[in-house]
Amino acid sequence: MSDSETASAELLELIYAYRVSQAIHVAVVLELADHLADGPRAVGDLASVTATHAPTLHRLLRALAAVEVLHEEPDGTFGLTALGEALRGPVGPMAAFIGRPNHWAAWGQLLHSVRTGENAFGAVHGVDVWEYRAQHPEEGAIFDAAMTGLSRRVNAAVAAAHDFGRYGVIVDVGGGHGALLAGIRARHPGVRGVLFDQPAVVAGAEADGLEVVGGSFFETVPAGGDAYLLKSVLHDWEDEPAIEILRTCRRAARAGTALLLIERQFDLPATKFSDLNMLVGPGGRERTIEEYATLLAAAGYELVGETPTPVGVSVFDARAI
């Protein structure tokens, strides 16, 4: 095969990648990995438990086997591979989320965003992602499950990468259901954790041992922290609102108080595509360390260090000045 033919074949794999995403999405919605957890099963059996059309399900199963998510046994049954087994772990909920029509439609307007600089989700749906999920709580629940799943991968690495035990009080701003604080306190029981997020979010928090406070990080955050955490918050926002969030934290902090940003490492290919996801979805952006330093300086902080983790995120360490 010539170099040009090889390049064309490789490019076609990238072009057709959306087909794989949707097939995996359907597999998760049908809970195929759970149904196959105890071993291979016949197509008819799987069709019965998933309420699907057996001949068409067979076509899906064959396609998933072709990309090694499933394995087709000699007797025609299908079982899980290592990739398929991973669908039962923390990344499975993300597959359920990315195939949702509202998310898919926003990505379909990437060209609009590139031409105009506008957020694709708002252009398609007439509201931003936060308002849309408030109006459609079932979609909000799917998104929250996806984020919780990803957090399970990240939180342990973050808790191990930074010495959180040096702080008496940690305020997790935009901390969701409290999984990161719970992981930190499992390592450092003496740390007092304060979980802060929107009231509807913290209502479902893992609140054991935590102080839970509801509110908006554009208005006020709890005072008295020795460290403030912002995990995967700033990348949801363009520069001006991101600076406003940082300024809210600065008003609550004393000089010298730590601010810890947990965000993606920009030099990874996955981060470049996450940046496009921020463009079409919430309307934010991924940033370089220099860009984070600029935001922090505008809000009264100095960036003093970065600690990478093995899962593609870093802890950016800043101090209030």
Both tokens of residue 236? 């949801």
Residue of 58, 103, 162, 235 with catalytic role: 235
Residue type, 300: G
Longest dimension (CA), the chain: 69
Query: Between vectors from CA 46 to CA 41 and to CA 49, what angle results, nearest 5°?
Result: 130
CB burial of residue 42 (10 Å; 0-12, 13-18, 19+): middle
Helical axes 43-50 vs 54-66, angle rounded to 10°: 110
The verdict on whether 25 is a catalytic residue reads no
For residue 307, what are the β-bridge partners? 315
Helices (H), the chain: 3-15, 17-29, 32-35, 43-50, 54-66, 82-86, 92-98, 101-107, 110-116, 120-125, 129-135, 137-161, 179-187, 199-202, 239-252, 269-280, 289-298
Residues with a known catalytic role: 235
